[in-house]
């Protein structure tokens, strides 16, 4: 299928990966980074002339970073599912989402960095990472130099399969420590609707909510997948929750607002109207689960 491919590079350092990709770009041929291959090979772009493989880079790790976590870009979905630190993180929503990203073989191949860099609006890991205020570390790109920049995930996506990478390499996903106010609680939930859970999402949603000791919402994140050109945060719905008692009524109102913020399209997996309605349902379920996890269902 890739019969035009004339170079397959297997660098062992990020610096070399960037140097190789930059010199290939200067030479003019089309090419790409690849890790698990679950997007690049399926896309089957026959015009590719070069590939820089990332699977030998030392980027397959999950590390504590202060009270938060740092996830190396080539960690696979299966790695995230198996990581005790990821399973403990935020009620396990990242591990849970990773476990829905296709069959076991796909999860053993596909990587966290690839899932984000491919920028599918339905990327399974995007909503949970958005709900966790994750950021991505990008090495290089934007016309040379090996400098690193950290970009909040909600400023990373630019459209379907478009990001701010600009030739740079996504090397790490950084998750700040979860914060709950003193005496309060925080809870998270991930929801996904597909024909089967392992299918590409028709709609997916992740929620994170913190409340103070009196049950008043101090912080909220609502993220939706597959209902817009990028994974998105429903900021008006988040704002609706903050400062008010977090209860069923607040959850239902926020879910309705989130559905208004969705920008779904019609495709083979669902109509725009269905996706909008399911956005409401999934956000409502996610917030209900947060309430349940906080042990203050009212």
Partner 1 sequence: MPRRTTHRAGGAKNAAGSGRASHGAVNDLVIHVKVNGEARRWTTAPGDLLLDVLRREGYWGVKRGCESGECGACAVLVDGEPVNSCLMFAAQADGRSLTTVEGVADRERLDVVQEAFLDHGAVQCGYCTPAMVLVTRALLARSPHPSEAEVRETLGGVFCRCTGYKKPVEAVLAAAKAGGGERSRPAARRAARAGKGARR
Kindly state the smallest distance separating residue 265's Cβ from partner 1, in Å: 23
Closer Cβ to partner 1, 51 or 178, answer by number: 51
CB-CB contact of 271 with 226 (8 Å): no
Closer Cβ to partner 1, 182 or 195, answer by number: 195
Kindly state the smallest distance separating residue 238's Cβ from partner 1, in Å: 33
Closer Cβ to partner 1, 34 or 86, answer by number: 34
Angle between helices 272-294 and 248-261 (to 10 degrees): 150
For the stretch 90-99, what's the b/e string if a residue is b when 16 or more beta carbons lie within 10 angstroms of its beta carbon?
Answer: bbbbbbbbbb
Phi-psi region at 60: left, alpha or beta (left = phi > 0; alpha = psi -120 to 50): beta
Closer Cβ to partner 1, 78 or 288, answer by number: 78
Kindly state the smallest distance separating residue 222's Cβ from partner 1, in Å: 28
Query: Which residues form the interface with partner 1 (CB under 8 A)?
Result: 1-13, 16, 20, 34, 36-38, 41-42, 48, 50-51, 53, 55-56, 78, 102-106, 108-109, 196, 198
Kindly state the smallest distance separating residue 59's Cβ from partner 1, in Å: 14
- 9 beta partners: 52
CB-CB contact of 223 with 114 (8 Å): no
CB-CB contact of 240 with 165 (8 Å): no
Closer Cβ to partner 1, 9 or 185, answer by number: 9
Kindly state the smallest distance separating residue 165's Cβ from partner 1, in Å: 21
């Amino acid at each position: 299928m890739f019969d035009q491919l004339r170079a397959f590079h297997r660098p062992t350092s990020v610096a070399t990966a960037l140097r190789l990709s930059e010199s290939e770009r200067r030479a003019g041929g089309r090419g790409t980074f690849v890790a698990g291959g679950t997007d690049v090979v399926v896309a089957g772009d026959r015009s590719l002339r070069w590939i820089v493989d990332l699977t030998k880079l030392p980027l397959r790790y999950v590390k504590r970073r202060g009270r938060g976590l740092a996830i190396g870009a080539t960690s696979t979905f299966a790695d995230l599912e198996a990581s005790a630190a990821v399973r403990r993180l935020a009620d396990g929503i990242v591990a849970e989402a990773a476990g829905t990203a296709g069959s076991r073989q796909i999860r053993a191949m596909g990587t966290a960095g690839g899932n984000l860099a491919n920028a599918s609006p339905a990327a399974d890991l995007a909503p949970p990472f958005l709900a966790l205020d994750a950021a991505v570390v990008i090495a290089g790109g934007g016309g040379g130099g090996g400098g690193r920049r950290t970009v909040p995930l909600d400023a990373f996506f630019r459209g379907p399969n478009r990001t701010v990478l600009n030739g740079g390499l996504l090397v790490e996903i950084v998750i700040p420590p979860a914060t709950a106010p003193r005496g309060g609680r925080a809870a998270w939930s991930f929801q996904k609707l597909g024909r089967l859970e392992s299918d590409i999402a028709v709609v997916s949603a992740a929620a994170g909510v913190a409340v103070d000791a009196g049950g008043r919402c101090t912080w909220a994140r609502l993220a939706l997948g597959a209902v817009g050109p990028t994974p998105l945060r429903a900021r008006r719905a988040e704002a609706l929750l903050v400062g008010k008692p977090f209860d069923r009524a607040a959850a239902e109102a926020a879910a309705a607002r989130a559905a208004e913020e969705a920008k779904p399209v019609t495709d083979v997996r669902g109509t725009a109207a269905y996706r909008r309605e399911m956005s409401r349902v999934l956000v409502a379920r996610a917030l209900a689960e947060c309430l349940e996890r906080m042990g203050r269902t009212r």
